[in-house]
Structure 1
Amino acid sequence: MPQLALYTFGVLKSPLADPTPLTGEFYALGESVYREIGRHPGYLARAEPAGGDRGLLFGADWGPWGEFAVPAWYGKGRTVETTALAATLSLWTGPRSAFDAVHTGLHRTALSRRHDWFERTGHPSHVAWWVPDDVTPTWREGVRGLEHLRDHGPAPHAFTLHRAFAPDGTPATGTG
């Protein structure tokens, strides 16, 4: 049975290494959000660097999730000291479970504060697509999907949780 891949991307107002309280709040809430989402029905897995280094994205070993990649519009730093982005890559049983996880609990709280932490870029913040159950999606696939979504809108291979498609390519109903 196919699984839903979900790539999220946002440009932060300040680098991840910024010692200000606002960045500390983002990290503290983010760690709690990850724990809660990891227990959500329909959640399967998420990309994590092998070393688990906080703030290390570029150059980290992501195993089967592939080399870390970002959209072309990201123009900030790429070192531990200068990286100013938040990105996730995860697997779900379907759009409904992912939508529910994003729009409830601690993640809903984080969404209400997103403008404290993230720049308003005008670009999509997430993209979803279907993968066979024996395939691990890659960061590069997520970037390609997000860029397609920005340039062409939702399609069966690059859609949002609000305008989802079923694995057979037909528009899905009742996802958000």
Structure 2
Amino acid sequence: MALMLSLLSALVVFSYGLGGSLGCNLTLNHDVVSNENLLLLKEMGRISPSLCLDDRKDFRFPQQAVNGRQVQKTQAISVLYEMLGQTSRVFLREQSSAAWNTTLLEKLRHRLHRQLEDLKPCVVQEVRQAESAAGKDPTADVKRYFSGIRLYLKQKKYSDCAWEVVRGEIMSLFPSLTSLQEGLRQKDGDLGSP
């Protein structure tokens, strides 16, 4: 876990060279993959959510962490990367294979991995800049949120209804992911202006 946190921290900050920002150039393709992921999640539904009303839970999504217009660019990238990575971790759990259609699950895993790979060039190597820019770990709330999701799954013994509730919860995150990506593209344009 410490290695993952160190790696994530090392990937958080942007690199600035003599020519300006190497910056994050999130293309619209990143949004296309997010939309494909959302469609896959919708397709993965196996049981009616109405059968799982007793299992519903408010995971208290940290909306302030993903408001793309209010977070600094370095924070937005780290939050986006963390959200995608944590989503991937949820669906990489051994127990998830029993809950979903394997073909759809593998497609989702592959597309999440692709998005994470696309984000790697957007982050830098200097942790000091990230710490000074952020003031605090901008991903802490996101980590707590996903920790709550994993704890919920464990407490519910990875039941079909628990997975259905989590699927619905993660589907509700995609507008926030899109907002973060749009905010990053706008901030890239602002940084690239002379």
TM-score norm. by structure 2 comes to 0.32
Structure (1 or 2) with the greater helix fraction: 2
Structure (1 or 2) with the greater strand fraction: 1
Larger Rg: 2
Choose between structure 1 and 2 for higher RCO, CA contacts under 8 A separated by at least 6 residues: 2
